[in-house]
Amino acid sequence: MKNKLSIKQIADLSGVSSATVSRVINHNGRFSEKTRQKVLKVIQDNHYQINIVAKSLRTQKSYTVGILVPDITNSFFAQLVQKIESYLFEKGYSSIICNTARSAVKESEYLKILTSKMVDGLILISGAKTLKNQAISTNIPVIYIDRQPASSKSIFISSDHYKGAVLATQHLLKEVERICFIAQGSHSSSAAERLKGFEDTVAKAVDIDSRVLDLLDYRQGEKLERERITSFVNREFAFLRPSQRLGIFANNDGLAINVLAAVHNLGLKIPEQVAIIGFDDSPMARLSYPQLTTVRQDIDLLAATACDKLLLVIKGKKLANEDAVTKLPVELILRATA
């Protein structure tokens, strides 16, 4: 309808200077109650909206943070990003969510744009192990989630993936005679931790054979992936005698569901012949049949912790060294597949 008014026009309409209008808007400095009322009325009447771009330029703060995420389509990331965004929004910040598609090039392009837009902070989720800090050489506060930062004094947050893997593996070991870990490329620090938790736990067990399948390339075609999983499970199962069970720990729920389907197709019984545990407790874990046993990450806590720390650093607080690394507790959710 009407075009946007500037603070100057509000000032004229109110019969004061724009300095005064700015002061009442920002509750900053002194002004009489009378002027305040007057100005506020004019603002209301005209639906005045401050221009954040101008404000940002002047104050050198954008009230915006950038979030880099590998794949918003993955339900764990989607939930995490959604929580972060809504949490930040409550605190008066808006988020620019950038989908890097796991491409280093896109990542650094985004980083450039983001700094160009004067973001006040950055949240980097997962992705390649280390990143050329060149792009974020300017001293923007950064929080790393599930991604090992180059510098040890960066702030790093993640679930305790190692512990989660240990829990899952221990549970399987109680029930099966042979055990496998399935991953799809252990590029991320979280995947590496989970693998380590699996291996360490298996190493302590006696009388059990184990095997790791790494699907490597992230996307090598769904059908091919499914076939590889199926033949892998088939081969592994063949090692067992009748009445023995195979245990499979999948690096995430998506993979676990894939395994589920493969096992169904092989005509094997879950969990009587093959026991399966996933990771993340994503929504589909509850929707699969049978329902998936999995390791739950506390996404709310993860998001809140990341935002709180970021906001602190943005506000100029120096974090103590012991706050640089946070490992959040995980929980094994027992359902029907193991």
> Residues interacting with DNA, by CB under 7 A?
4, 6-8, 15-20, 22-23, 25-26, 28-32, 34-35, 50-51, 54-55, 57-60
- What is the C-alpha separation between 256 and 212, in angstroms, rounded? 14
19 binds, among a copy of itself, DNA, none (CB under 5 to 8 A by kind): DNA
- One character per residue 8-47, x = contact with a copy of itself (rule: CB under 8 A): ---------------------------------------x
- Smallest separation (angstroms) from a copy of itself to the CB of 54: 5
Contact 16, 35 (CB under 8 A): yes
- What is the C-alpha separation between 274 and 250, in angstroms, rounded? 13
- Smallest separation (angstroms) from DNA to the CB of 62: 12
Nearest in space to 168 (alpha carbons), one of 27, 337, 294: 294
Query: Footprint of a copy of itself on residues 59-78 (CB under 8 A)?
Result: 62, 64, 71-73, 75, 78
Token couple for 299: 């996404």
For the chain, report the end-to-end CA distance as a whole number of angstroms: 61
97 binds, among DNA, a copy of itself, none (CB under 5 to 8 A by kind): a copy of itself
When asked if residue 52 is in the footprint of a copy of itself (CB under 8 A), the reply is yes
When asked if residue 289 is in the footprint of a copy of itself (CB under 8 A), the reply is yes
The sign of the dihedral angle between the CA atoms of 182, 187, 191, 193 is positive
Query: Footprint of a copy of itself on residues 223-282 (CB under 8 A)?
Result: 254, 257-258, 260-261, 264
- Smallest separation (angstroms) from a copy of itself to the CB of 318: 19
Contact 268, 281 (CB under 8 A): no
113 binds, among DNA, a copy of itself, none (CB under 5 to 8 A by kind): a copy of itself
When asked if residue 336 is in the footprint of a copy of itself (CB under 8 A), the reply is no
- What is the C-alpha separation between 189 and 129, in angstroms, rounded? 6
81 binds, among a copy of itself, DNA, none (CB under 5 to 8 A by kind): a copy of itself
Query: Footprint of a copy of itself on residues 93-112 (CB under 8 A)?
Result: 94-99, 101, 106, 110, 112
28 binds, among a copy of itself, DNA, none (CB under 5 to 8 A by kind): DNA
Q: Which residues contact 69 (CB under 8 A, 6 or more apart)?
A: 77, 80, 81, 97, 98, 99, 100, 125, 126
Helices (H), ranges, 181-274 = 189-204, 222-238, 253-266
Sheet strands side by side (includes 330-333): 209-214, 178-183, 246-250, 274-280, 293-297, 330-333
Nearest in space to 14 (alpha carbons), one of 33, 41, 32: 41
- In this structure, what DSSP letter does residue 2 have? P
Interacting residues with a copy of itself (CB under 8 A): 1-4, 47, 49-54, 56-57, 62, 64, 71-73, 75, 78-79, 81-82, 85-86, 89, 94-99, 101, 106, 110, 112-113, 115-118, 134, 137-138, 222, 254, 257-258, 260-261, 264, 283-284, 286-289, 291
